[in-house]
Every structure is written in structure tokens, then in C-alpha cells.
Amino acid sequence: MNDDMITPVLLCGGSGTRLWPLSRKSYPKQFARLMGDESLFQASARRLSGAGFAAPLVVTGDPFRFVVTEQLAQIAQAPQGILIEPEGRNTAPAVLAAALWLAQRDAGALMLIAPSDHVIPDADAFRAAVLAAAPRARGGDLVTFGIAPTRPETGYGYLELGQGADASADTPQPLARFVEKPNAARAEEMLSAGNFLWNAGIFLCTAEAVIAAYTSHAPAMLDAVSAAYDGAANDLGFTRLAADHWVEAEDISIDYAIMEKAANLAVMPFRAGWSDLGGWEAVWLETGPDAEGNVCSDHATAISCENSLLRSESADVELVGIGLSDIVAIAMDDAVLVAHKSQTQRVKEAVSALKARGASQAVQLPRDYRPWGWFESLAVGGRFQVKRIVVNPGAALSLQSHQHRSEHWVVVEGTAHVTIGEEVRLLSENQSVYIPLGAVHRMENRGKVPMVLIEVQTGSYLGEDDIIRYEDVYARS
């Protein structure tokens, strides 16, 4: 590995419930197109590329491993590696696993630890800041990035600059301490003081320096994560960390685990704009309100409204606001959120309430993404379900059977190679096939364009767990 190159470590395992209903556990905000035509994950990968940057190392969860590869391929990037967490344990174990992966190849490798769901409008300025901080990190320091605050924000942690530090400097500065999220009065005081920066949760350091910090301040975590890494398995090119050791690692952030305890810290000031998109009010602000303070998506209309965010995520749902002030309204096919802007940080409470009621909308989007494409339910009855299924070019569903349902497939776009028992047939548009209950079958798209079909299921049980897999190119059990 080239010592001069910086490896972006993209963390993308969070659930992003504060941006419900667009972001849900089944497809969190980093993979959604919240700001423009690319997902936040894609924008992060693109921002941390180019001269001086190596291909990214990604840490994610099993449900998103193929989403990661597909979204990187869409922007013509290939990762160095993808580490699969058996379960989310916050950022400290994830960062350590990435450091162990890099240290095995080059202990002096520089790693830029970055969440993949942030917005940094000036990518050139951020890359320049990272490169300016690199000499300090190569010298063994842990460099964190502090954002020049623009308002008395209570939703962020802060960094207090050390004695003699310059908040407007273009090089790393002394860091006195990390500060917890303040109340409104304290936030006002820190903004006025001028020696506090927002904590962006972005760090630059060598792999050996961060491992040394765990050795000193979190030895039990080092033991657990090292065992999980040593026991990792290669799975279709992914590195799957060993679950039995991973669960022994403490569920804790990297700030609490090592950064707040380390002595070799520095902070790189950054003044060109940043947001973690931690709620709908932040989305409203970063999207750029018009002269009346409104932000409207396609299929949303504001009449006599002010300072409001109106967003429809469906071409079939027209959202209209009349006489609204400081309101966030998000409409999807299966859920609608309406909240005062000052209350949007309470969306997590709504998600918890929906979970308590057993509502699938709490965690599941109507569109269910799979390694081969996606599907969505169009109609559900007592003993039937109608789905739209989209299979990507070159993709294939597993060879499978069902114990409780039969299926009828109608191809509406593209061509499908269908296996039923020993028979293989080619279906083109407007052709159909029946899959009897218990029959072993598979669907493939060997074409160069997406294949779309309508599936009608009938039977006594229609759950997604009624699948017996015999072969699967994606190594699902």
C-alpha cells in the first residue's frame, strides 16, 4: 500500500430513524437519495476519492452488503474491502476492525474514519483539509475534524480548542476536550466564546496509532474485536467478522471508548459547511429554502406556507400544504409524517410507538431490496398477495421451493429464464408461468436490461420466511 495514500473508512451500519419514514431499518438514510441524484453513501465515497485517496474500506451490516457494492458500482468505484458486522455495536468496534484490516497490510496506513450519511457541500475544501491534516496524523496523532459552528446547536457534541489554538487555522490545532451536547443556554455561550467547534465524528490517523489507543484505553474491546477479525470468513469477497467474538465487544462509540481518553489528539478546523442530516429540520436547512422559507419536492405544493418542508416520495401521492408555518410533512405510499419543525427530533418516539403496535412501517419500507434487485407488494388479501418484482441484469433468485404457497409469474418487461424442476423455459413480455406449491424453481435475468414481472401468490401462509433454498449465488442461508 502506498504510504502517501489515505484510505477512507466508510461507516454505514446505522438505521437513521430520525429521518423516518424515508429512512428505516430495512434501508437507512445513507443509501437514500435525500440530497440530489446520489445517495449520501455515494456522495461520501465520491467526496473521499481522487488524488491522495485510495479506494474505500467499508464497514456495514449483512443486509446492506450488496447495496454497498451496487451503489459503488453505479459511481464507478470498487472498494478495497467490505467488512460485515454480525450486529451493530456502535462505532468503536467497527473502527477497530477496519484498523486491524489495514494494519495487516500496512501498519502505517493512514485511515480517514468517516460516517457515510453526512453532507459536506464543498468536497474540494474538505479534501484539502484532510490532506493538510495528514502530516500530523502520520506523526502519530489522532486528528479529529471540528466544524465552525454557525448557530447555537444543541443536537451536536462540541470540541473545545486548547490554549493558543486558532479556530480559523488551516492546520491541526491543540484540543482541550470533548464536550457533550449542551442545552440552549450553554450552546449560546460556546458560540459566543469562539473557541468551540462542532464534533463531526470524523478522524484521521494511522492504523497503528488507533490500535495503540485501544491497547491503552480499551484492551477488552481489542481482545474481542481481534478475535472476531482473526476468526473472520471470506464470503463472496466480503470479510464476515466472527459473530461469537463480536458480541463480546462493548456497544460504545469511538469517542467514549478511546478519543476522550487519548493524549495525542489534535483538531483540524473546517469552515466550509457540514451537516450530519440528523433530522428533518436539517434536511430543510441544507436543501435550501426559497424566499418564503419553503422546500417542496416533486409532487408537493405549498400554498400560503412559510418555513416548511413538504416532501412526497411517491409519484402517486400529491402532497399539498395550505397555510402552514414551520411544518415538516413527509408523504410515502405507506406512511405520512406531519410535525412542527421544532419537534422533529422526536421522530424516534414515533418509530418506537409504531414498533410497540407491531406496525411494519416502523422498520420496513414498501420496497424490499435484495441482492438481485427489489420487490414491492401491490395488493394483499387473506390468501393472496400481488407483487412487482424487478431483477437486475445478470442477477438470479435462489433455487427454492415453498411449503405454503403457489405462484403465478407474468413477465411485463424484459425476459426471464425460469427453472421449474428439470424444465427451463424462456419467458418474454406478456408470457406467464405457474409454479405449483412445493415445486423447486428459480428465476434468472440473463439479459442486459432489468426484468420486471408481476407475481401472484396464493396459499395459507405468504410470509417471506416460507423459503427453502437449495442453491444461492449470494450465499444466503
- The better pLDDT of the pair 365, 92 is held by 92
pLDDT tens for each residue of 380-396:
998 999 999 999 999 99
Q: Which amino acid is at 279?
A: G
- Round the average pLDDT of the chain to a whole number and report it: 94
pTM to 2 decimals? 0.88
CATH class of the domain at 367-471: mainly beta
| Cα separation, 405 vs 403, whole angstroms | 6
| Cα separation, 245 vs 229, whole angstroms | 9
Question: Can you tell me whether residue 255 is helix, strand or coil?
Answer: helix
pLDDT tens for each residue of 175-225:
999 999 999 999 999 999 999 999 999 999 999 999 999 999 999 999 999
Tell me the mean pLDDT in the region 229-255: 94
C-alpha cell at position 432: 406467464
φ, ψ (nearest 5 deg) of residue 405: -145, 155
φ, ψ (nearest 5 deg) of residue 82: -130, 115
> Is 274 in contact with 202 (CB distance < 8 Å)?
no
348, 310, 314: which is closest to 329 by C-alpha?
A: 310
Q: How confident is the model at residue 477 (pLDDT cuts 50, 70, 90)?
A: low
Q: What pLDDT, on the 0 to 100 scale, is given for residue 1?
A: 52
Q: Which amino acid is at 117?
A: D
Q: Identify the CATH homologous superfamily for domain 6-270.
A: Spore Coat Polysaccharide Biosynthesis Protein SpsA; Chain A (3.90.550.10)
Q: Which residue intervals of the chain bear CATH 3.90.550.10?
A: 6-270
Q: Which residue intervals of the chain bear CATH 2.60.120.10?
A: 367-471
| Residue 310: partners with Cβ closer than 8 Å, 6 or more residues away | 294, 295, 296, 297, 300, 301, 302, 319, 321, 324, 329
Q: DSSP code of 371? A: T
Question: Can you tell me whether residue 267 is helix, strand or coil?
Answer: strand
Question: Above 80 in pLDDT, residue 307?
Answer: yes
